[in-house]
A and B are shown apart, each in its own frame.
Chain A
Amino acid sequence: MSKIIVIPCSGIGKAFGTIGREAAQIVVDEARPGVTDTVCLSALVMGDEETRSRVHGRRCITIDGCPVGCARKNVELAGGTVAKALRVVDVYKDHRDLKPRTVTELDEAGRALARILAQTITEEVDRIVEAE
């Protein structure tokens, strides 16, 4: 089975971008390292052949920090298949007590949101794997 590609937007202006990035790396590096991978979103969109070949025909889970949906849009533009598009703001809506206040290095609230989001991503990964 080919690996599932987890791609965060890594938006740099706000905490939600950092949270999405942190959550993706938790899943890829710790929670499901055997069945997931990530690629550089910028390289994908800039047409890097090696990156495109790793995404082409594979299921992707995109994680966006804001409603613009850059990760989802860019993966679609690059020919990837978006199996699930997640948004950090949706996790935050369910946990409004966790209000992140830092961007560069997440505070405790931001880290907690990242862990919750990572759990959601992991469940999506498992669901995709089971369906195969």
Chain B
Amino acid sequence: MVDLPKRKVGIISCSGEELAEGTVSRVATRWVLERLRQEQTVTLCLPLFLAGGKEERAFAKFFPTIAVDGCPKLCAARATAAYSAEPAARIVVSEIAARYPELKPESRRQLGPGGEELARRVAEEIAARVDQILAQPTRAKLVRLGEMGQPEPAHAGQDDAEPTAVCSCQGGGVPARAVLVAGSPVSILALEPIMQQLVAFGDGADGELRNKLLEMVKVYNPIPAEQEGLYAEALWREFLAYRQGGGSR
């Protein structure tokens, strides 16, 4: 079976060194990654993100992210928006802490029982947002090849990353492939492994394979409802050529 990349949510934590809320942000993020939503989330290293990590920035361009900030300066949220794409959700620890005044961290180094309970509640809010985001259809950016490499005014500092999304925890990219849709080149994420997987399915009826192809592509790519027919036709043409070439085109 082909190991198809799964849609995940990236969590970007501020990790603010100065404040106990930064420690809460960091610990809550780790708990989500390790305990609450292990299979559905990855973390993106904020300092590396800011220093110009192309892989981290590319991930956030194609997959939804949650920014977790310790204080109202919102460094994680602003960095994500500035260098990659607007986060799908924002969590601010100081706002959650205001709802639970009895839960106070002992220090920025030692959270203590109150701080740990606060981190647990923050983690639960992050996990709830993860569930909400994954329940929605993909809002990944539709990349038309003519737009690639052109700076977007709203995203200052955007790099010229190839249309490849990288999952930090896996260290592998999600490949993109150009497909002509109604004569216009469109970059389709994960098409190659999807087609590989369909070929591996064997002798399914063409109609069934065609529907399955479209459904799998939609997991990773936003397809306008009114253009589904055009995409289905283009994808099927691509798949037939791929299958005829022995799965190596």
Contact = CB atoms under 8 A, between A and B. Distances in A.
Nearest to A69: B51
A13 B42 CA distance: 9
Interface stretch (A36-44, A80-88, A89-97, A123-131): A36-44
Task: Say which size band chain B's interface belongs to.
Answer: 20 to 34
A60 interface: no
A40 B14 contact: yes
Nearest to B15: A10
B75 A70 contact: no
Contacts of A77: 51
A71 interface: yes
B158 interface: no
A39 B17 contact: yes
B219 interface: no
A117 interface: no
B16 A29 contact: no
Interface centre among B14, B51, B78, B109, by most chain A C-beta atoms within 10 angstroms, is B51
Interface in A43-70: 43, 45-46, 48, 68, 70
Given A25-B109, A40-B17, A40-B22, A11 B48 contact: yes
Nearest to B108: A25
Contacts of A100: none
B168 A42 contact: no
Interface stretch (B29-37, B96-104, B210-218, B239-247): B29-37
A68 B17 contact: no
B47 A22 contact: no
Contacts of A29: 107-109
Interface residues of A, number: 31
B51 A46 contact: no
Interface in B1-41: 13-19, 22, 26-27, 29-31, 34
Nearest to B35: A104
Contact of A104 (B27, B75, B109, B169): B27
A45 B75 CA distance: 9
A121 interface: no
A22 B109 contact: yes
A28 B15 CA distance: 17
B18 A38 contact: yes
Given A10-B15, A12-B45, A13-B168, A46 B31 contact: no
A6 to B, nearest CB: 9
Nearest to A30: B109
A12 B17 contact: no
A24 interface: yes
A19 interface: no
A21 B15 contact: yes
A43 B107 CA distance: 20
Interface of A: 7-13, 17, 21-22, 24-26, 29, 38-43, 45-46, 48, 68, 70-71, 73-74, 77, 103-104
Given A26-B109, A48-B75, 10 more contacts: A10-B46, A11-B47, A13-B168, A41-B15, A42-B14, A42-B50, A42-B76, A46-B73, A70-B47, A70-B48
Interface of B: 13-19, 22, 26-27, 29-31, 34, 43, 45-48, 50-51, 53, 73, 75-76, 78-79, 107-109, 168-169
22 contacts: A7-B17, A8-B17, A10-B46, A12-B30, A12-B46, A13-B168, A13-B169, A17-B45, A22-B109, A24-B17, A29-B107, A38-B18, A40-B17, A41-B47, A42-B14, A42-B75, A42-B76, A48-B73, A70-B45, A70-B47, A74-B50, A104-B34
